[in-house]
Amino acid sequence: MQALFVSWWGWGDINLDGVVEGHADAALNRGIRALLDEIVAAQRPISVSLIVEPFVQTQGHITPSLLLPAQRELVLDWLWANYYGRAEYRNLWFQWDGKPLLVAFDPMTLTTPTAPTVPISYTVRHWTGCARQGDARTYECEKVPPAWDWFFGPPQDPIAGLSDDGVAFVTPRFDEYPAKLMGTTYITWPPRSLDPLLTQCVYERQWQQLADQRDRLRLIILYGWNLYGEQAYVEPAIATPQRPSIGRRYVERTRAYYAALLAGQSIVPATYCTYLPRLSR
């Protein structure tokens, strides 16, 4: 792991009117600062980027595409003043195209202001949960401006969703059905599923596809976020009868597959996936 992409939900000003209403998500900033401080204190060799989530929509009921330029600038200014521009964090930020990377998640859109109030210097990338080639959420994706740079839309494979700047996403599984059953209201589309019981060797296939396209890759994002209800994680977790414990095997496989890819070697599938052909350079 070379970088952490950390979800950010604003600072409590839910409608960007300059008044901090004190939304509970503001507490996430304390956690983010604790994370950054620990990385600095321990001199850990890892970088960080923040993902600006659509907090104005979830908290203030404002469609992000309707934000005024001054409101977008307020977000960028706040992030610079509190994170990106702070001297103690100066060397932490993951660089993309020569500048610190800031990610905005669908449907949040951000543009760097032409006349910022502080000397901001970001590379902004817009990340959508929609597939690049269209999927079950196509009707949802058409409601927002097609300004997306990065695409994570399972069950789309990592090469079909490869961005123009060489960014691919992998995940052992993805399953929205549990979240939907738990009453999640944001899933207004048919729930998507990708190898929900980890029996289809999807992860191995993804890494084989990446190995075939090594020369096109600049960044591989291991998608492991979102409410355990999405089931997209590699770390050990408490098991249920429906979701047996994965232990550390996906941590170890990820390490092995990535090391092999960097070395230009074949991706050797796990034991129960030995029927898959090995890849060679």
- Whether the per-residue pLDDT at 112 is higher than 70: the answer is no
Which of 106-115, 190-199, 201-210, 215-224 bottoms out in mean pLDDT, i.e. has the lowest? 106-115
210-233 as b/e: b if 16+ CB within 10 A = bbeeeeebebbbbbbbeeebbbbb
| 275: confidence class by pLDDT, cuts 50, 70, 90 | very low
Mean pLDDT of 262-276: 67
Q: 73: helix, coil or strand?
A: helix
d(CA 156, CA 268) in angstroms, rounded, equals: 22
End-to-end, the C-alpha distance of the chain in Å comes to 23
Q: Which residue has the tokens 């009707």?
A: 139
Q: Which two tokens stand for residue 106?
A: 């669908």
Q: Are 176 and 122 in contact (CB under 8 A)?
A: no
d(CA 192, CA 51) in angstroms, rounded, equals: 23
The pLDDT > 70 percentage for the chain reads 83
CA distances from 163 to 33, 132, 134, 184 (A): 30, 8, 14, 29
Query: pLDDT tens digit string along 200-241?
Result: 889 999 998 999 999 999 999 999 875 667 888 888 876 665
Q: Report pTM.
A: 0.87
- What mean pLDDT, rounded, does the chain reach? 85
Residue that wins the pLDDT comparison between 98 and 178: 98
Q: Which residue has the tokens 């084989």?
A: 208
pLDDT for the residue numbered 161? 92
Q: 5: helix, coil or strand?
A: strand
Mean pLDDT of 59-64: 89
Q: Which two tokens stand for residue 281?
A: 């350079």
- Whether the per-residue pLDDT at 280 is higher than 60: the answer is no
